[in-house]
Amino acid sequence: MNSNEMVTIDRDHNLHPYTSPTTPPACVPIVGAEGVRLTMADGRELIDGMASWWSAIHGYNHPALNHALLQQVSKVSHVMFGGITHPQAVTLSQKLVDITPHKLTKVFFSDSGSVAVEVALKMAIQYWSALGQGSKNRLLTIKNGYHGDTFGAMSVCDPKTGMHHLFSDMVVQQYFAEAPQCRNDAEWDSSDISSLEGLLSKNKEKIAAVILEPIVQGAGGMRFYAPEYLRQVRQLCDAFDVLLILDEIATGFGRTGKLFACEHADVVPDIMCLGKAITGGYLSFAATMTSQKICDGIGKDGGVFMHGPTFMGNPLACSVANASIDLLLGYELERMIADIESGLCEGLAPCKYLDTVKDVRVFGAIGVVEMKNQVDLAAVQPEFVKRGVWVRPFGRLVYVMPPFIISRCDLDFLTKQIVEVVSSL
Ligand SMILES: Cc1ncc(COP(=O)(O)O)c(C=O)c1O
**pLDDT digit string, tens, across residues 349-387:** 999 999 999 999 999 999 999 999 999 999 999 999 999
- Cα 155 from chain centre: 17
pLDDT of residue 169: 87
Best residue among 213, 217, 249 to mutate for probing ligand 1, ranked by most atoms within 8 Å of CB: 249
Instruction: Write down the H helix ranges in 55-191.
Output: 63-73, 87-99, 113-130, 151-155
The catalytic position among 95, 276, 282, 399 is 276
pLDDT in tens, 298-328: 999 999 999 999 999 999 999 999 999 999 9
Q: Does position 250 have pLDDT exceeding 90, yes or no? A: yes
pLDDT in tens, 186-203: 999 999 999 999 999 999
Q: Are 217 and 244 in contact (CB under 8 A)?
A: no
Ligand 1 binding pocket (C-beta < 6 A) is: 112-114, 117, 146-148, 213, 218-219, 247, 249-250, 275
Q: Are 317 and 285 in contact (CB under 8 A)?
A: yes
Q: Are 150 and 115 in contact (CB under 8 A)?
A: yes
Ligand 1 atom 2: the closest Cα is on which residue? 147
> Going by C-beta distance under 8 Å and a sequence separation of 6 or more, which residues neighbour residue 379?
none
pLDDT in tens, 72-101: 999 999 999 999 999 999 999 999 999 999
Ligand 1 atom 3: the closest Cα is on which residue? 147
pLDDT in tens, 209-232: 999 999 999 999 999 999 999 999
Percent of the chain with pLDDT over 70: 100
Taking the CA of residue 218 as reference, the ligand 1 atom at the shortest distance is 16
Average pLDDT over residues 105-112: 98
Q: Does position 24 have pLDDT exceeding 90, yes or no? A: yes
- 331 belongs to the catalytic site: no
Q: What are phi and psi of 221, to 5 degrees?
A: 150, -5
Average pLDDT value for the chain: 97
- 60 belongs to the catalytic site: no
pLDDT of residue 16: 97
Band the pLDDT of 265: cuts 50, 70, 90: very high
- 18 belongs to the catalytic site: yes
Dihedral sign of CA atoms 407, 410, 413, 417 in order: negative
pLDDT of residue 1: 86
pLDDT of residue 360: 98
| Nearest one of 303, 287, 304, 300 to 253, comparing CA atoms | 287
For 148, left (φ over 0), alpha (ψ -120 to 50), or beta? Answer: left
> Going by C-beta distance under 8 Å and a sequence separation of 6 or more, which residues neighbour residue 191?
none
Q: Does position 163 have pLDDT exceeding 80, yes or no? A: no
- 75 belongs to the catalytic site: no
Band the pLDDT of 28: cuts 50, 70, 90: very high
| Burial annotation 254-281 (CB, 10 A radius, 16+ → b, else e) | bbbbbbbbbbbbebbbbbbbbbbbbbbb
Q: Does position 410 have pLDDT exceeding 90, yes or no? A: yes
Ligand 1 atom 9: the closest Cα is on which residue? 113
Band the pLDDT of 168: cuts 50, 70, 90: confident
Q: Does position 164 have pLDDT exceeding 90, yes or no? A: no
The catalytic position among 95, 111, 127, 146 is 146
Q: Which helix (DSSP H) or strand (DSSP E) does residue 384 occupy?
A: helix 377-386
User: Which DSSP letter does residue 193 get?
Assistant: G
Ligand 1 atom 8: the closest Cα is on which residue? 113
Average pLDDT over residues 64-70: 98
Q: Which helix (DSSP H) or strand (DSSP E) does residue 382 occupy?
A: helix 377-386
pLDDT in tens, 322-349: 999 999 999 999 999 999 999 999 999 9
Q: Are 286 and 111 in contact (CB under 8 A)?
A: yes
User: Which DSSP letter does residue 354 get?
Assistant: -
The catalytic position among 12, 18, 301, 355 is 18
Asked whether the whole model's pTM tops 0.95, one would answer yes
Tell how far the Cα of 57 is from the centroid of ligand 1, in angstroms: 16
Taking the CA of residue 148 as reference, the ligand 1 atom at the shortest distance is 6
Taking the CA of residue 114 as reference, the ligand 1 atom at the shortest distance is 11
Indicate the residue type of 306.
M
pLDDT of residue 287: 98
Q: Does position 160 have pLDDT exceeding 90, yes or no? A: no
Tell how far the Cα of 74 is from the centroid of ligand 1, in angstroms: 31
Q: What angle do CA 218, 311, 256 make, to 5 degrees?
A: 25
